[in-house]
Amino acid sequence: MNIDDVITQLRANCPLLGPRVAGAADYATGIATGSAWLATPAAYVIPLDDDAGDNDALNGLRQTVTERIGVVVNWATIDRRGQTPAGDLSPARTQIFAALLNWKPAGANAARGMAYAGGSMLDFDRARLFYQFDFTLETMITDADGWQYPDTALTGIDATSTQPTGTPVAQIDVTLPQS
C-alpha cells in the first residue's frame, strides 16, 4: 500500500492532525531519533508487514495478501505521568478511524476497505508520548499482477484429418488475416 495515499487521506480527514502527517520507514530510525519531528500533535505513517495466504487457484494465481500499516501519533506533554496525552488518545482514535476505516486506497485490488488491527504505546518521556494505531487492508493478487506469457499471434492452421486406420481423409490449410 502506498503510504503517500494514507498520508493524504489523514491530512484531508483528520482535523486534529491537519497537515502534520508525514511518512517514515520505521519507528526506530525514522521517528524515535527525533531528527525530523513535526509540531505536535502529529502522525507518521509507517509501512509494517504483509502476510500472503496460500495460492487458492488450481491453475494460475489467486492469493490474498494482508497489508499492514502503522499510524504513529506523537503528542507533546509536560505531564510526567502522561495523563494529558493519554487522555487525548480517544479523540485522536475517533478521527483516525473516521479517516481510515472502510477506506480503500485508489488502485487497491481489495473487496473491502481498511480495518483496525490494534494499537500500542511505543514510547513516553517527559516531553513526548508516541502511540501506534495499526490498520490492515486485504488485497488480492492474480495472474494479471505477475509475469505475462509472451503473446504469440496465430497466423494459420495446418491440419490433416485421418481415419482410424491412419489413412488421410482431408487436408486443411487456413491462413488467417493479420490485423
Q: Which fold has domain 3-145?
A: STM4215-like (3.30.2000)
Model confidence over 149-170: pLDDT tens digits? 777 777 777 777 788 887 777 7
Q: For 121-127, what is the mean pLDDT?
A: 76
3-state secondary structure at position 59: coil
Q: Is the pLDDT of residue 140 over 60?
A: yes
Query: What are the Cα distances from residue 5, in Å, to 9, 101, 128?
Result: 6, 14, 26
CA pair distance 143, 146, nearest whole angstrom? 5
Domain ranges of the chain: 3-145
Model confidence over 66-87: pLDDT tens digits? 999 999 998 876 666 655 656 6
Q: What is the mean pLDDT of the chain?
A: 85
Cβ atoms of 53 and 29 closer than 8 Å: no
Model pTM above 0.85: no
pLDDT at position 89, please? 78
129 CB burial (10 A radius; 0-12, 13-18, 19+): buried
